[in-house]
A and B are shown apart, each in its own frame.
Chain A
Amino acid sequence: MARLETVGEALARQGVSRRAFLKFCAATTSLMALPPSMIPRVAAALEAARRPSVIWLSFQECTGCTESLTRSDSPTVEGLIFDVISLDYHHTLLAAAGEAAELDRKQAMEENWGNYLVVVDGSIPLGNPGYSTIAGISNVDMLQETVEGAAAVVAVGTCAAFGGIPHADPNPTGAVGVGEIVKDKPIINVSGCPPIPVAITGVLAQYLTFGQLPEMDELGRPKAFFGQSIHDRCYRRPFYDNGQFAESFDDEGARAGWCLFKLGCKGPITYNACATVKWNSGTSFPIEAGHPCLGCAEPNFWDKGGFYQPLSEVEWGGWTQLGTAAAAGAAIGAASALAARSKQKKAREEEA
């Protein structure tokens, strides 16, 4: 394998001072959702870590996931993480195309066999192979060939993780997520439509720092970002617990910032970090902007009924049951969230 420089060397080469490095480590520690007391350990590990080679494959996708990560034009921490990894192939970002680009991919695989990370965005069509090809290679063939020498696969976005929007009924291309095809490599799912950029870089940072993938939930998602529901961390949760709900988008409750549960919020069954990490550099998140959570980080979110109907009406049993619990106070509210999760798991098992 080619000798890859360390992260410390890469940052020093870019003229990053030690103070700047510590600032970088503070942000990286926060990215990984680790406590700030871990910053010195992260700094020591990052300094000595070798830059991993990353091969990024884009299949049936809208480029929203790549946009989510790369649209910033300033040296953000996410950008720096990208600078310190060795992004050897990303066919959307590469200037080269076709066979020239494919040579880059094969060279990166050869030089880093057994150690490189494969990042996938977009679902993979299992219908006609011609539905989606790159340089004449079908998505499924490219994925299988590329993961052969990979250390692990990161499925970025709900499409790569669970099939996403291409998988929505009637799924004309036979779209599936990475986990339906790759069975012999560790897969980590960073779902979301698109995923929060720091969740993507947080996984890369964890791998960079500790040489291993983070702890995952039952859907293969990093617990640091998907361990708690939107509802659990929502600043409007006290209104849910008090039974104060907006009934329409312009009523008194909506103007007072009450809970959006009755307007279709999927926060209680959606596991993601939007409520704390937020979007657009921490500005806000959909619920803060007055819109219910759509549940975009969950499998089959597009097919779960209307976005604006209470989740209990569309998928998770009777409205009366959850609605009553929601209005009954904190204890019952918490219990209903647990019940929702249990129902969600059961529904998934039934779907499988």
Chain B
Amino acid sequence: MSGLGDIAVAVEITTGNVTPLLHEVRHALQRLLDTGEPTVIDLHSLPLAPGELAALENELGEGEVSATLNALGPSLLRETAVPGVWFVTHRNANEEITGQYLEIVKIPAILEAQEVDIRLGIAALSENLEQTKAQDHRDTQDGST
């Protein structure tokens, strides 16, 4: 026996919360379509029995898009088989889960490049280009002497 997973105990408990959650997702999708308003459901705020989260994931299935974000630890943003429904799991650097959400949105906002970071990127790129230009200038001068 190599771990707890090998112990032959199977307990099936349900809170009955998975089906209402799926109804909530359906309403949120309709709202997204009608008004463009996104919805985020914090899965840690709901009582779910062991195995129900996996059941929810199974129910929603696997979609076409999956993205990994590396910021303060890895985050996995995975579109489900229901377009517009994203399973988002944030982890810290120790890979411990810090948040789990269902996002009903065309694309999770955190995936978009952020303006502040774009500005910093422009500054960094400009500095690199200045350094390259200065180096080229020095190389040209060295070559001409």
Contact = CB atoms under 8 A, between A and B. Distances in A.
B47 A27 contact: no
Interface string A21-32: 011101100100
B92 A237 contact: no
A235 B47 contact: yes
Interface residues on B, range: 35 or more
Given A36-B101, A75-B93, A76-B96, A17 B44 contact: no
A29 to B, nearest CB: 8
Given A235-B15, A255-B11, A37 B114 contact: no
B3 to A, nearest CB: 14
B61 interface: no
B36 interface: no
A261 to B, nearest CB: 15
B1 interface: no
Contacts of B122: none
Contacts of B96: 72, 74, 76, 281-282
Contacts of A24: 72
Contacts of B94: 72-74, 76
B90 A257 contact: no
A33 B98 contact: no
A275 interface: yes
Contact of B42 (A30, A239, A275, A282): A30
B110 interface: yes
B97 interface: yes
A26 B73 CA distance: 14
Nearest to A26: B99
A235 B51 CA distance: 11
B113 to A, nearest CB: 8
B109 interface: yes
B54 interface: no
Contacts of B52: 235
Interface in B90-121: 90, 92-94, 96-99, 101, 109-110, 114-117
Contact of A276 (B45, B69, B72, B109): B45
Nearest to A34: B42
Nearest to B119: A18
B69 A23 contact: yes
A193 interface: no
Interface residues of A, number: 40
Contacts of B11: 255-257
Contact of B92 (A75, A234, A236, A255): A75
* Binding site secondary structure of chain A: helix
A234 B99 CA distance: 19
Contacts of A18: 114-117
Nearest to A258: B13
A255 B9 contact: yes
A22 B110 contact: yes
A291 interface: no
**Which of B44, B94, B101 counts the most A-chain CB atoms under 10 A from its CB?**
B44
B42 A234 contact: no
A292 B8 CA distance: 23
Interface in A27-71: 27, 30, 33, 35-37, 39
Interface in A72-93: 72-77, 80
A178 interface: no
Interface in A197-254: 233-239
A33 B101 contact: no
Contacts of A234: 47
Nearest to B117: A18
B63 interface: no
B97 A238 contact: no
A103 interface: no
B49 to A, nearest CB: 4
A33 B45 contact: yes
A277 interface: yes
B96 to A, nearest CB: 4
A236 B98 contact: no
B40 A16 contact: no
17 contacts: A17-B71, A18-B117, A19-B71, A19-B114, A20-B71, A26-B101, A30-B44, A30-B45, A39-B40, A74-B94, A235-B13, A255-B11, A276-B44, A276-B46, A277-B44, A281-B98, A282-B97
Given A27-B98, A36-B101, A257-B13, 6 more contacts: A22-B114, A35-B40, A75-B92, A76-B94, A235-B49, A282-B44
Interface of B: 9, 11, 13-16, 40-42, 44-50, 52, 69, 71-73, 75, 90, 92-94, 96-99, 101, 109-110, 114-117
